[in-house]
Amino acid sequence: MATLAAAHAAGRLPHGLLLHEAPGAGGDWLAKWIAQLVLCRGGTDGPCGSCLGCHGVVTAQHPDLVVLQPIEESRQIRIEQVRELSEELALTSHQGGYKVAILTPADALNRFAANALLKTLEEPPQRTLLMLVVTQPSRLPATILSRCQRVRLRAPGRAEAVSWLEATRGTGDWNAVLDTLGEAPMLAAEVDPAAVVQVGAEVRRALDEVMAGTADPVAIAERWVRAELPLRLRCIENWLTERIRGHHEGEGFFTKLRAAAHLPGANAVLNMGQLFELVDGVRELKSALETPINRGLALETLLRRFRPSGGAVAPPGKGTAGAPPSFGRR
């Protein structure tokens, strides 16, 4: 933040910023802070927080600020939105300063919208600042990435995150919430902690039962697609990540990738490649939620990969791992 403030004070702030955040690490918050920085009328080195400019950013009512997000039920930022943004940025600033645009999440730009945005990034109007908040920069075209200066936001440590959540939201089982959501305090601050912990426990229990062959993936998929599917997929991803870390930190870690899902022997060691493939499968399904897929079939296909008969993922010393799912279309 100090670096950005210094760049602004020296007149060296780039016209395009890519705010690459760890999920829930505060990319939107930083984008608004930078918007306050350039639109502040208090005359200080940083946002004063009390002038009309700063207040307009906080309330999303500043005439020189545009926030571009997916509209209503859409999971994409569309070309029509980007064209309207370009037209707005070409106009003279209402207050004689910067025109600012925040695109969040910018990795929701569809291909046509990204191409339209490229024109503005290549030839931006004077005193224009575009900020793209992303968690997966790889989903953006290389031509856009090359025209933005990247700012990386890493998640805070667990103790710092819990302390901030307690100060912001009050007491709660925030450690359990972060165990479920991952190190994402900004995301945790927006949820009901008790509900998240309950969903996380249900997901872990269901995965254990699927691995043991005592639960039906079809029934679980039918139930999960009706409620909180993105949250459940996040829980599955974190469940897999925990096992990858467990292998890395324990004796079960094996560096060589083999064609088989695990090594032979009474205490088989999981093939790390299979675990990573399943993580990729979960992320692919999360991205595919933006498209008209058969969610129930896609989730069922994923869950079947956890079963011993279909290549299961189990705690170190048990089971096998399967390949990522292929998603059925409607």
Query: What is the pLDDT, as a whole number, of residue 247?
Result: 60
Quote the pTM value.
0.68
Mean pLDDT of 72-83: 85
Query: What is the pLDDT, as a whole number, of residue 64?
Result: 94
The token pair at 245 is: 């870390």
Q: What percent of the chain has pLDDT over 90?
A: 40
Judged by average pLDDT, the poorest of 82-91, 125-134, 138-147, 288-297 is: 288-297
Query: What is the pLDDT, as a whole number, of residue 276?
Result: 83
Mean pLDDT of 277-299: 86
Judged by average pLDDT, the poorest of 22-26, 51-55, 143-147 is: 22-26
pLDDT at 319 over 50: no
Judged by average pLDDT, the poorest of 39-48, 88-97, 108-117, 208-217 is: 39-48
pLDDT at 306 over 90: no
pLDDT at 249 over 70: no
263: left (phi over 0), alpha (psi -120 to 50) or beta: beta
Mean pLDDT of 87-91: 92
Q: How far is CA 177 from CA 2, 24, 165, 246, 299, in A?
A: 31, 13, 10, 20, 23
pLDDT band, residue 87 (cuts 50/70/90): very high
Q: Is 245 helix (H, G, I), strand (E, B) or coil?
A: helix
For 119-153, b where at least 16 C-beta lie within 10 A, e where not — what string?
Answer: ebbeebeeebbbbbbbbebeebeeebbebbeebeb
Q: Max CA-CA distance within the chain? A: 73
Query: What is the pLDDT, as a whole number, of residue 271?
Result: 61
pLDDT at 219 over 50: yes
Judged by average pLDDT, the poorest of 270-274, 279-283, 297-301 is: 270-274
Report DSSP letters for 159-170, one per residue. Answer: HHHHHHHHHHH-
Q: Which residue has the higher pLDDT, 10 or 324?
A: 10
d(CA 257, CA 270): 10
Which CATH class for the 2-154 domain?
alpha beta
Pairing state between β 16-21 and 149-153: parallel
On average, the pLDDT of the chain sits at: 82
Domain boundaries, the chain: 2-154, 192-310
Query: What is the pLDDT, as a whole number, of residue 263?
Result: 42
CA nearest neighbour of 262 among 211, 207, 209, 313: 313
d(CA 275, CA 320): 9
Q: Which residue has the higher pLDDT, 294 or 74?
A: 294
Quote the radius of gyration of the chain (alpha carbons, Å): 23
Q: What is the pLDDT of residues 107-143, one digit of tens each?
A: 889 899 999 999 899 998 889 999 999 988 988 999 9
Q: What is the pLDDT of residues 138-174, one digit of tens each?
A: 889 999 999 999 999 888 889 999 999 999 899 889 9
Query: What is the pLDDT, as a whole number, of residue 248?
Result: 53
